[in-house]
Structures are given as C-alpha cells and as structure tokens.
Structure 1
C-alpha cells in the first residue's frame, strides 16, 4: 500500500525490497554491517537501562567516538601492525563515547539533572563537533588541494581498516562479530554477575539500594558511561569501514535507530540481536527500493515506525491482559461481600 501511494507497483516494490535485503551477497553483507552498528548502540542502552537510566545520546556518542577514532587512525605510522592499530582505534572510539556520556552521567549523579535531557541535547553538540572536525584543516580535514576537495578526513592507515569476513562479493566485515561479542558481554554482566544484580537493584529503587549500602552514584555513572563507550565503538566501526574516512554524514541516524532497538528489546540482549538484524536488513532493502523501483528510501523509515508501533501495541495488550481483573471481584472482607447471600 505504501509503495502504491509512492507511485510504484506493489509487486515491483516488494521484489526490489527483497533483492535489496537478501538478493545478493553484497546486500546481505551491507545489512549485517548495519545491524552490527545498531546492536552496539542497543547493547549500551540495555546496560544503562538496567540501572534505571535512559541513554538518548547514542547519536552524539557515535559522532565523538568516530572523531576520536579518526584522530588516532590518521596519526598512526603506516608501518604499525594491524594487531595494534585496530585495537587502538576502537579503544579511542570507546574512550570518546564514554567521555561524552560522562558529561551527562556527572550531571545526573551530582546535580540530579535528567539524563534524558542532557544526552538528547549532547547529540547536537556531538554532531557539531564532527562537522567542525571535518571542515577545519587544523583538525581532521584532509589537505585542500583544489575546489573539489571534499570536507572529510584523510583515510585511516591501512592497518586500522576493519578486515572483511572473506565472503565472496560481500562487504561484510568483522563488525558483526564485535557486536555479538559486545552483546554477549553485556548479557553476561547483567544476568550472571553481582554487578548486574546491583545495577538492577539501583534501577528498581535507588533509596532501597542506598539502604543496602550499594554505591548508587558509582553504579549509575558507570552504567551510563559504559553505554557511551558502546556507542563510541559503533562510531569507530563506521569510520574503520569502507571508505575509511570521516565525513559529516557518517552516523546517518544510527544512534536513534539503536535506541529503538534497545527499547523494543525490553531488556533482552537476544531480542536486541533479532531486532537489530531485522532493521539492518530493512535499511539495506530500502536503498535498493529507491534505486530499482524509484520509491523514496524514507519509505522504509515509515515501515520501521509502523513495526515499532505494532510491537509496542502488542506489548501494551500483553501487559493489560496479564493484569488480574480484581475490580470485578468482591472483597470477601468487605461488609457488602458478607451481606451478599
């Protein structure tokens, strides 16, 4: 129906969407790379959410993480080995994202400012930092040799490039492996360690956690900065993937889409993997939808929104159906119940 409204035959649009998602090895590789970035942001969101925090700043943390990764990746000597270059780039990205989230974490812990507001506002500042970095030659912009020189960084050294998985015709890198490992670590921490129990206690009731002697401020600060580190790594993954340069459109809304994945996962890392994969393939299919059927790629965003509304509506219905309907049951201790024959 949406394709028909956009002026394309539904059958042709469906075929183009399917080909863009799974029609070629290139499409599948692009989809899993996108899913990896979304999963990294979602894993960080779940970590903060367990402590009762909502990290809305994935977009800004991606931008700052990408800037930090580029600063390291372009400064390394060409002779550096990949076993050293790539970890350094990703660690720099994690530090950038964590440092950016630490601003909101400090304000939440020390000043009681809502992290929803601060992380949201820091998105715009982080995007401005990225734009400034790629437009100023004194920062990260490549040397301007002509009027056609693009406002982007110089390429990262070859050793800092994410290696491909080796699938013929596919651009899939090791990013999905890194994202799955990150999601596995978060799941292990949240469900199998004492730290996860303490984070859950803080998220359920901060006053009760204080009475139990838990370091509430430390746990909340660590959870939000950890979420920023995961989003920062997502920025490092983006800049370390082809074409291995930093430009002002590198994020493309991944931070907000990763937030959606985290919300829909409802605390489950396994569900986050499934939702991130579904959205990754949907984004990949939307690109081919525009190329092959002439339908705007934004149509997939509409479909994504409808999917979110459907899942959210199902969740609300399930919660309401599970509630005991005590309003229609008489209280056996009430005088009216005793008087009822």
Structure 2
C-alpha cells in the first residue's frame, strides 16, 4: 500500500513550482554552457565571471537583491489581481506612475525632513500613484466591461510618456537647466526621503529588500487565511456565482487590481528613492514587464514569486558581469534568460495537464 502511494506523491512534488523552477534552472545552465562554448569562451572562465557577478562581492549580492525585490513587488501585485480573476499586464505603467508620484512628493518635502516621516510619505505616494493608475483600468472593467488586459497594456505607454514629459519640462520635475549637458531628470530627493542601506556601505542593498519581503509575506497570509482572500478567490473562480452569494464582485475586482497597481507603484517609488535618488527617463529598465513574467510563472504561489524573483535577479547581475569579464555577447545572456522563462512555462503547462488527467 505504501509503495502504491509513493509515485503520486513523487509526481506531486515534481509538479511543485519550486521543483519546476529548479529543474528549469539546471537545464538552462546546460544551454548557457553550449552558448559559451559556441562563443569561443572557456567554460571555466565564463562560470567564474557568472559566479563573480552573482555572489563575488557584497556589491554584486546587493544589486541582485534590489533587482529581485522590485520584481517580487510587481509579481506579488500580479498574483493579487490574478486571484480576483484579472490579468494585470500594466505593471510598467503603474511602476512609472508610482515613481512619478514618489518623486513629486520627495521633492516637495523640506530639506531637513526626518527619515521617519519622509520615507513613509514617499513610499505611500508611490503606492497610491500606482493604485490610482490601475484603478482607471479597474473602473473601465467593472463599469463598461472593457478588458483589463487591453487597458492596462495601453496605460503602460501613457505612464512612460508621463514620466518623459515630467523630466523634460522645467515647469514640472526637471532639474534646472544650466548648460546643454544638463540631463533630463529631476533634482535629487531630500535626504529624509531616501531608502537606507541595510548591509553597510559596501553593498547597495536598500530597505526595498525588507519592503518586498514584508509585502510577499503579508499578501500570502491575507490571500490564504483571511475572509478577503477567500472572497477574492471566489470572484476569481466565478464572478456570477459570487454575485449570487451576495459578494460585492465589482468592488473586489476594483480593489484587487488597485492593490496590484499599488504594489507596482511601490516598486517605482523604491527605485526613485534609491541611488541616484532621481526620477529619470527609462528609470524602470523594463522591470514592469519582467515582473509580469515572474507573476505568470508563479501562477499565484507567493513562494514561487520569491524564488523566481531571486533567480532572475541574480541571473541578471551575473549576466552583466559575464558580458564584461568573459566577453560573452549580450545576446547570449538574453537567450539564456528567454530559455529559462520558456522552460518554466512549459514545465508548468505539463504540470497542469498531468494534474488534470490529460496529456
């Protein structure tokens, strides 16, 4: 009897998001090794460069953790909206809106504002900015039936355009132009609005790591153990049945998408509140779209959100050093990252089909 139960348990463990991510990472390493050899680089040299870029110094680790924290915040928000049956593809625009709101707030604060006041105000402004941006799509969804996929996607371009306008116009947020070499960016935020370092001067890791960790844990608890999480799950499974049970479907959908936007906006605020403490054009570096990928791969599992965010965060930092130290083309690094995403997606698709009894 015990033997007959072992294979299903083993398959269940293999279908776990962490197991799938680990297997995909191992296969990706193999693909990366093939590309390194094809580029004419010694594998041992390439591995040393990759390891150095990921774990070789406090600076490398700190940079990786900061990147992973931004991805985790965006992916956590995606998971909240997904629980309510919505697909939020507007993380990039919401991140831009949050960064814009945070920059405006941080620049408006007095120079001597204490950190205990300035940092919460700046981060709250970012959260509200992102939430408000997502709420536009939420209202169109609940009041007019417009697909949130379309509206959040289009709002990405509007958000990026708003940042561009703000940092190019002196009447808005652009720093005073003193010469033709003055960069189109804002002034630096007040000292009290800047996120503190958490690992000493040698590491760039900031409090965004703590913020992201708290956000992931709190969201996981709310979604799994509270009535709000149960209501969101019900709405996600069947809005019609939930409405018949008396649940405020529209309000829950609007709230879920607003929270998703708020977390992306919080990520944008943290980027602005980190060195060099300015709002600049393209400051997001595409985090919103990468965070969307993390959310899709995690499939609503907050544990998987943390794991995949760390994986991509460290891989990105290692890939940069791989280009610089080992001479591996940037395209090879992009191929490796794309292969990783495809493998995880394919493995999870296989997992879902096996769990559903189809092949």
Q: TM-score range by the shorter chain?
A: over 0.9
Match of 1:117 in 2: 150
Q: How far off its partner does 1:129 sit?
A: 0.5
* Alignment CA distance shift 1:136-1:5 (3 Å): farther
Match of 1:184 in 2: 217
Match of 1:172 in 2: 205
1:318 has 2:351 as partner: yes
Q: How far off its partner does 1:142 sit?
A: 0.3
1:245 has 2:306 as partner: no
Indicate conservation of the 8 Å contact 1:289/1:295, yes or no. Answer: yes
Indicate conservation of the 8 Å contact 1:235/1:251, yes or no. Answer: yes
Structure 1 unmatched ranges of 5 or more: 328-341
1:74 alignment partner, SS class: helix
The TM-score normalised by the length of structure 1 is: 0.92
Instruction: State which drifts further: 285-294 or 203-212.
Output: 285-294
User: Matches of residues 126-275 of structure 1 in structure 2 within 5 Å?
Assistant: 126-167=159-200, 169-275=202-308
Q: How far off its partner does 1:6 sit?
A: 4.3
Q: How far off its partner does 1:304 sit?
A: 1.8
Coordinate RMSD, CA, aligned = 1.5
Match of 1:334 in 2: none
1:114-154 residue CA offsets vs partner (Å, 9 max, x unmatched): 10111011101110001111111011000000111011110
Q: How far off its partner does 1:174 sit?
A: 1.1
Indicate conservation of the 8 Å contact 1:25/1:168, yes or no. Answer: no
> Using the alignment, how far apart are the partners of 1:310 and 1:3 within structure 2?
19
Match of 1:30 in 2: 63
> Using the alignment, how far apart are the partners of 2:39 and 2:157 within structure 1?
32
Match of 1:16 in 2: 49
Q: How far off its partner does 1:236 sit?
A: 0.3
Structure 2 unmatched ranges of 5 or more: 1-33
Q: How far off its partner does 1:166 sit?
A: 3.2
Q: How far off its partner does 1:5 sit?
A: 4.1
Match of 2:89 in 1: 56
Match of 2:128 in 1: 95
Runs of 4+ in 1 over 6 A off after TM superposition: none
> Using the alignment, how far apart are the partners of 2:108 and 2:352 within structure 1?
53
Out of 102, 105, 121, which is 1:69 matched to?
102
Counting matched residue pairs gives 326
Q: How far off its partner does 1:298 sit?
A: 4.6
Indicate conservation of the 8 Å contact 1:33/1:172, yes or no. Answer: yes
